[in-house]
Amino acid sequence: MTNATLKFGDKELELPMMSPTVGPDVIDIQKLYAQGGVFTYDPGFTSTASCQSNITFIDGNKGELLYRGYPIDQLAEKSHFLEVCYLLLYGELPTSEQLSDFVPRVTRHTMLHEQMAYFYRGFRRDAPPMAVVCGVMGALSSFYHDSTDITDPEQREIASIRMIAKIPTITAWAYKYSIGQPFVYPKNELDYTSNFLHMCFSVPAEKYVVDPILSRAMDRIFTLHADHEQNASTSTVRLAGSSGANPFACIAAGVACLWGPAHGGANEAALNMLREIGTVDRIPEYIARAKDKSDPFRLMGFGHRVYKNFDPRAKVMKESADEVLGLMGIENNPTLQVAKELERIALSDPYFIEKKLYPNVDFYSGIILDAMGFPSSMFTPIFALARTVGWIAQWKEMISDPTQKIGRPRQLYTGATFRDYVDVEKR
Ligand code: SDX
């Protein structure tokens, strides 16, 4: 690989370049400060690779998302979430024997320590479920001392399986707690996703049969959200993990970051926006607001740092919304109609075309989750449930990288230079 030559002031530096298997080349600037006495400046990491990874790749121009090389639309159609978990964690699609071993390892860790139920009761009933999920995930570290030594690969594996297995129970219990219904324990005879729906929607008073159509749609939503390169929450998990923090604390940090409306909170914000628009005739008013620089309003569920073409997950999600709502006999759902018309109008508007703003994964997901019976406060917790495996895969990759060190960015300091303290009577 050739070097990049950097000239500034009286200096001329040769910086090594590195090539990926796919995507842009990178300039290795690790020695830039030592050799050149300067930092680079990239506060939003728009042009900065924070790590080397072989898990997920996004081609923002082609609208392509690959998990270990496999395109997301094929996985959403042909695979299922636990198989995708195996792929993200271990790098290859499992053989039937490997899958037969993996699934029960997850299934047998779905229960929470009974003491956890009391932890939930410390929250107000009207606490946002994201607050509960974030707190409970962090609290897991107080229950599993036997799997917090991150230097032990076996303990890393146990902690990983435990979090993938328990996050549906944690999330379902946060929902049950918020609606004042009793916690429902996992049932091992159900598959991963059906178990989640069962824990959310069954009540002790009557038999509940999981609708296979909803379970398939939910499973597809989990797959679509499982991982996404070095997004904000994954970068948070990596940075937390780089200090040697225990895995439960790192994933709790990821949950906290995902909560923001610019990130995982956008699915709830998008549905609330579609409901606020209410009818197709009010769409132009909101399109105008989204284009008005003096108005902080943005079309939630639109735009993306990487995708400058359609988000392939949004395409699959839109097809799934049509299928699920059609099968539920609510294809004329007014919110879905507003979403489709908003997408059509926005994508023909020069502003959105010029800024390459397309619907992202959050634009249609809320419509499906709402149709399934989830309140919008559960949309981001469900995103966190699905993304847990991605966070774990990225965390494991970082921890097992012998060259990794604690993340410690520098800064462009623009504050006061040295000055002596002034006594209060002299100020
Ligand atoms: C997720 O990183 C990931 O991979 C995240 C994610 C994942 O799977 O982990 O994909 C999940 O977080 C999806 C994104 C969900 N967020 C939203 O839907 C919120 C609405 N979207 C925007 O906030 C925004 O598009 C971001 C945050 C998603 C991306 O922001 P960027 O890359 O920093 O882009 P930007 O804010 O610099 O916008 C570029 C231009 C700006 O105009 P100019 O300053 O150039 O004049 O586009 C405009 C923005 O004003 N713009 C929008 C817009 N998004 C960007 N204008 C109107 N509506 C929008 N939604």
* 62 to 52, 95, 147, 162, 311: CA distances (angstroms): 21, 30, 41, 36, 9
Catalytic residue among 228, 304, 311, 370: 304
Specify the 3-state DSSP secondary structure of 361: helix
Mutational test site, ligand 1, from 228, 255, 360, max ligand atoms within 8 Å of CB: 360
pLDDT of residue 2: 86
pLDDT value of residue 327 = 87
Q: Which long-range contacts (CB under 8 A, 24 or more apart) does 323-327 make?
A: 323/217, 324/213, 324/214, 324/217, 324/368, 324/371, 324/372, 325/367, 325/368, 325/371, 327/213
Residue nearest to atom 12 of ligand 1 (CA): 263
Question: Looking at ligand 1, which residue's alpha carbon is closest to its atom 20?
Answer: 300
Q: What is the pLDDT of residues 389-411, one digit of tens each?
A: 999 999 999 999 998 899 999 99
- Cα–ligand 1 centroid distance for 262 (angstroms): 7
β-bridge mates for residue 65, sequence order: 58
Give bridge partners of residue 64 from the DSSP assignment.
Answer: 59
Condensed to tens digits (0 to 9), the pLDDT of residues 299-329 reads 999 999 999 888 999 999 999 988 889 988 8
Residue nearest to atom 22 of ligand 1 (CA): 303
Summarised one tens digit per residue, pLDDT across range 262-290 is 999 999 999 999 999 999 999 999 999 99
- Give the three-state DSSP class for 12: strand
- Assess whether 263 carries a catalytic annotation: no
Q: What is the pLDDT of residues 155-214, one digit of tens each?
A: 999 999 999 999 999 999 999 999 999 999 999 999 999 999 999 999 999 999 999 999
pLDDT in tens, 24-68: 999 999 999 999 999 999 999 999 999 999 999 999 999 999 999
Q: Are 250 and 240 in contact (CB under 8 A)?
A: yes
Catalytic residue among 219, 227, 311, 362: 362
Q: Give the separation between CA 13 and CA 37, rounded to whole angstroms.
A: 11
Indicate if 304 belongs to the active site. yes
pLDDT reading at 71 higher than 90:
yes
Q: Which of 59, 272, 295, 305 to mutate to test the pocket of ligand 1 (most atoms within 8 A of CB)?
A: 305
Interval between CA 202 and ligand 1 midpoint (Å): 37
Q: Across all residues in the chain, what is the average pLDDT?
A: 95
Span from the CA of 98 to the centroid of ligand 1 (angstroms): 39
- Cα of 265 vs centre of ligand 1, distance in Å, is 13
Query: For ligand 1, which residues put their CB under 6 angstroms from it?
Result: 44, 228, 231-232, 262-264, 266, 290, 298-305, 355, 357, 360-362
Mean pLDDT of 229-247: 97
Query: Ligand 1 centroid to 23 CA: how many Å?
Result: 21
Nearest residue by C-alpha to atom 32 in ligand 1: 305
Query: Radius of gyration (Cα) for the chain, nearest Å?
Result: 23
